[in-house]
Amino acid sequence: MRDRLQTAETVAVRDDPIDHETVSVPVLVVGAGAAGARAAIALADAGVEPLVIGKSDHGDAHTTWAAGGINAALGSLDPEDDWTIHAADTLDEGHYINDPEAVELTAKHMPDRIRELADWGMSFDRTEDGKINQRYFGAQSFRRTCFVGDRTGEAMLDTLVAKAQSMDIPYRDNVMVTRLLTDGERVAGAMGFDMESGEFVLFRSDHVVLAAGGSSALYHRHSSRADENNGDGPALALGAGARLMDIEFVQFHPTGMVGARYGEEWDGRLVTEAVRGEGGRLINAEGERFMERYSPDQMELDARDVVARAIAQEIREGRGTDNGGVYLDISHRDDQYIKDRLPSMVERFGSLGVDITEAPMEVAPTAHYSMGGVDIDSSTGETGVPGLYAVGETVAGVHGANRLGGNSLAETVAIGKLVGEHVAEQVDDTVPAVTASQRALAQREFHALAELADSEGEVTARELLADLGDILWEHAGILRDEASLREGLAELDALRARTADLRIDGDRTSREFEFAVDLSFSLPIAETMLRAALERTESRGAHYRTDYPETDGDWRRNIVMSEGPTGLDLRTRGVAEPSSEVQDAVDTGYELDYHHLE
C-alpha cells in the first residue's frame, strides 16, 4: 500500500479531472461482515443512518466461514461457568498480553448478545429442555460454545443482515476502498471504486468505521477466499496514521484441508474445530493418536497453537501422510450424530468422495486468523486518528498471542455494538460537504489508480501475491528464527522491486486489477509481520521462535507500530492487569478435562 500511496501523493493535480461519484454520509462502515453489521445496527438504533459498504455480495462476507460456534458463558450445560472464567480462559489462551478491558467487555456482554441474536431469529441448536446448546472448544474450561450445527457464522451473518434490512440500513456491495481520505490530522472519508462498473467513488464522512477483516490470506496456505483478509483494514489504518499492535501473532488453525488430496481449490480451507469439539481424533500415518505425546490431558482440545505445532512436528519427523498432512477421524461417533452436528463437513467431504462417518479427513495447519491489527480503545473503537474507528478482525486486543476458538464471532457482536453506540454519540445532524482540498486528494488517488490499471509490464499481481504467500509461509510461519526472518525481509524487498514491472490484464472491473490493489495492502502488512516477529525474541502463543523457544516474562509487552517519516516506527508497551474478579478466576486455574468426552 505504501508504494501506491507514494505514487498517489506525487501525482500532480491535473487539468484533466477524472469523473467520479461522490457520496456524503454521517458514518461510513467499511466492511459488511458481522462486526460491521453489528456496529451499523447499533448506529441505526441510536438514530444515525450509516452506509455500509462491502467488497462482495451482500451477506457473503468472511463471517460465513466461521463454522464451529460463538462463545458465551450461558451455563446451559455447565452452570458453574460465568463471564469471569470466560475472560480468564481468554487471557490464558492469549498468554496474558491481551487488552484486559477488551477481554472483559467481550466476556461480560456475550450472554446478552447471544440472547439478542436468538430473539432476532438465529436458530441455535437447543438442548432437550430448550436451552441454547453448548459444545466443548479447545482450551476452554467448560462447554461454552453456542452453535448452529457447523454453520454458525453463516447463520449469524444471515441474522444480522436480516435485522439490518428490517431497519432499512443502506448498503452497497462490490465496492473496494483503496485509501482513506485524510489531511494528515483526521479522517474525512474514503476513496475507492465500484468493482462492477469500474467507476471511482469518493465517500465523504466525518466518521469512518473500519471492519474490513484481517491479514491471514497473505500466507500461501490459508482458510480464506482469495479476495478476503488481504490486510485491507490494517493497511488502510496504517496509511492514515493509526498504530498497529501484536501484528506478529498469526493463528495457524490446526486443521485445514490438504490440497494435495482434495485439490488446489480446497488447499487450506477450514475443517472446523467443531469436529474436534465433538470428539474428533488426530491420527498420524502410523496410526498413532499422537496428541497423547504432546497434551495427554487436553488432547485434541488443547490450544490451537499447541495442536498446530504438534501436527507440524509429526509431519516434519516423517509421520505425516504422503500428501503432507495427518488424519482427523470422527467416524467412531454415531453416524446420525455426525450428520446432525457437522452437516456442512459431511456435505463438503461427501462432494469430494469422502464419507466422514466412515473414513478420516486429511488435514494440516493453515493460516487462519490475525490476532494483531489496529490498536484501538476497546470500548469506543477509537484509533487515535480523529474520525477513524475500527472493530472486528481488523483490530488487536481481545486475543493477545493466541485466539480462543469461538471468540472471533463473539468479539464482532460484543465490541461491534459498543463501537456503534460510541460513534453515534459523536455524530451531529449535518451532512458533510466536500472541500476543494479533499477533492484534490481524491483526484490524486483516482489518477494513481487509473495509471495502475494501465500498467503494461511483465509480471502480474497474482504471481506476486503467490510469491509473497510463499515468503511468509517459509519465513514467518509456524516456526520462526532470526536468520529466516531476515531472509524473508530481503526477499520481500526484492519482491517489492518487481512491482515496478506490473502488468494488468483487464480493466478496473477485472480480478487482476483487484489483485493489484490487494498487493498494495499486503506488502506493507507483510513487512510489519516480519519486523515484529524479528523483534519479539521469545516464544509466546502463536509466535514460536526456535532460537528463543521459551516464554520470557520481560516480553509481556505489546509491540506497537506506526509509519514514520523514514519507514516503520516500532516500540513496545506494557500490558494492563485484569480486574480483581477476573484475576481471582485466573488464580483458581479452571481447566478443561478432555476425558469428559471419552
Annotated active-site positions, please? 253, 276
Q: Are 62 and 229 in contact (CB under 8 A)?
A: yes
How far, CA to CA in Å, does 101 sit from each of 106, 427, 442?
Answer: 9, 25, 37
Side chain identity, residue 140? Q
Contacts of residue 56, defined as CB under 8 A and 6 or more positions apart, other chains included, come to 32, 173, 174, 227, 228
- The residues, any chain, with a CB within 8 Å of residue 42's CB and separated by 6 or more, are 416, 417, 418, 419, 420, 421, 424
| Closest to 391 (Cα-Cα) out of 45, 7, 91, 105 | 105
380 closest CA partner among 163, 207, 589: 207
Residue recorded with cell 443502506: 170
Residues 6+ apart with CB under 8 A from 568: 527, 528, 531, 561, 562
For residue 390, the SS3 value is strand
Distance CA 103, CA 404 (A): 11
CA distance 436 to 439: 5
250 DSSP β-pair partners: 370
CA distance linking residue 119 with residue 186, whole number of Å: 38
Closest to 528 in 3D by CA, of 370, 381, 404, 416: 370
Helix (H) or strand (E) holding 366: strand 361-370
User: What grid cell was written down for 191?
Assistant: 476513496
Cα 472–chain centre separation: 17
Q: What count of other Cβ atoms lies within 10 Å of the Cβ of residue 174?
A: 16
Contacts of 485 (CB under 8 A, 6+ apart): 475, 476, 530, 533, 534
Write the CB contacts of 15 (distance below 8 Å, at least 6 apart in sequence): none
Please give the Cα distance from 364 to 366 (Å, whole number): 7
Cα separation, 499 vs 178, whole angstroms: 17
Residue 340, H or E segment: helix 335-341
Closest CA to 155 of 64, 58, 33, 35: 64
Write the burial class of residue 332 (CB in 10 Å: 0-12 exposed, 13-18 middle, 19+ buried): exposed
Q: How far apart are CA 521 and CA 533, in angstroms?
A: 19
Distance CA 511, CA 594 (A): 46
Residue 106: closest CA among 378, 377, 376 = 378
Cβ atoms < 10 Å from Cβ of 436: 7
